[in-house]
Amino acid sequence: MKTCLIVDDSRVVRKVAARIVRDLRFEVMEAGDGAEAMRMCRENMPDAVLLDWNMPVMNGLDFLRSLRREEGGARPLVVFCSIENDAEHINEALRCGADEFIMKPFDADILESKFAEVGLV
Amino acid sequence: MQEEVFNELADLALKSSGQAIPKSKSYLIEARLAPIARREGFGSMADLVHCLKSRANPIFAAEIAAALVSKDTWFFRDRDCLQRIVEDVLPKRLKASNTGRLKVWCAGGSTGQEAYSLAILLADEMPPALRGAKIDILSTDICKVVTEKARIGRFGHYEVQRGLSIRRLIKHFTRLETGQWEISEDLRSRVSFRQHNLLESAGGLGKFDVILCRNVLPSMAKPARKRVVESLAEQMMPGAMLLLGSGENLIGITDKLEPARDFRGGWVAAGTANAEASAA
Ligand SMILES: C[S@@+](CC[C@H](N)C(=O)[O-])C[C@H]1O[C@@H](n2cnc3c(N)ncnc32)[C@H](O)[C@@H]1O
**Atom 2 of ligand 1, residue of closest alpha carbon:** B71
Could you tell me if A26 and A3 are in contact, meaning their C-beta atoms sit under 8 angstroms apart? yes
Cβ distance A90 to B166 less than 8 Å, yes or no, reads: yes
Cα angle value A91/A97/A98 (rounded, 5°): 70
* pLDDT tens track for B135-144: 999 999 999 9
| Mean pLDDT value across residues B241-263 | 94
The CATH number of domain B79-151+188-279, selected from 3.40.50.150, 3.50.50.60, 3.40.640.10, 3.20.20.370: 3.40.50.150
**Rounded to an integer, what distance in angstroms lies between the CA atom of residue B164 and that of residue B160?**
6
Alpha-carbon separation of residue B114 from A70, A86, A99, B74, B215 (angstroms): 41, 25, 24, 7, 11
* pLDDT tens track for B222-246: 999 999 999 999 999 999 999 999 9
Instruction: With cut-offs at 50, 70 and 90, classify the pLDDT of residue B97.
Output: confident
- pLDDT over 90 percentage in chain B: 92
Q: State residue B56's pLDDT score.
A: 83
Q: State residue A37's pLDDT score.
A: 97
Question: DSSP E strands: which ranges in B125-248?
Answer: 134-141, 154-155, 173-175, 181-183, 191-195, 208-213, 236-244
The closest CB to that of A100, out of B74, B158, B165, belongs to: B165
Instruction: With cut-offs at 50, 70 and 90, classify the pLDDT of residue B256.
Output: very high
pLDDT at B280 over 80: no
CATH class in words for A2-117: alpha beta
Hey, which residues does A41 pair with through a beta bridge? none
Residue of A nearest to B169 (CA): A87
Amino acid (one-letter) located at B32:
R
Cβ distance A86 to B175 less than 8 Å, yes or no, reads: yes
Cα angle value A67/A111/A88 (rounded, 5°): 60
**Rounded to an integer, what distance in angstroms lies between the CA atom of residue B83 and that of residue A55?**
39
Average pLDDT, chain B: 94
pLDDT at B174 over 70: yes
| Domains in chain A: boundaries | 2-117
Residues across chain A: 121
Residues of B in Cβ contact (< 8 Å) with A87: 170, 175
Cβ distance A107 to B74 less than 8 Å, yes or no, reads: no
Q: State residue B262's pLDDT score.
A: 85
Q: State residue B278's pLDDT score.
A: 54
Residues of B in Cβ contact (< 8 Å) with A105: 157
Could you tell me if B63 and B55 are in contact, meaning their C-beta atoms sit under 8 angstroms apart? no
Which ipTM score applies to this complex?
0.94
Position with higher pLDDT, B276 vs B100: B100
- Alpha-carbon dihedral of residues B88, B89, B95, B98, nearest 10 degrees? -150
Residues of chain A with pLDDT under 70: none
The closest CB to that of A110, out of B158, B167, B170, belongs to: B158
| Mean pLDDT value across residues B260-271 | 93
Q: State residue B257's pLDDT score.
A: 97
Could you tell me if A34 and A7 are in contact, meaning their C-beta atoms sit under 8 angstroms apart? yes
Cβ distance A94 to B163 less than 8 Å, yes or no, reads: no
**Within an 8 Å CB–CB cutoff, is residue A33 touching chain B?**
no
* pLDDT tens track for B54-68: 988 899 999 999 999
What DSSP element (H or E) covers A50? strand A48-52
Instruction: With cut-offs at 50, 70 and 90, classify the pLDDT of residue B205.
Output: very high
Cβ distance B175 to A117 less than 8 Å, yes or no, reads: no
B21 CA to middle of ligand 1, Å?
Answer: 14
pLDDT at B273 over 90: no
Cα angle value A106/A103/B160 (rounded, 5°): 85
pLDDT at B277 over 90: no
Q: State residue B279's pLDDT score.
A: 56
Lining ligand 1 with CB less than 6 A are B 17-18, 69-73, 77, 108-110, 114, 141-143, 146, 197-199, 214-216, 245
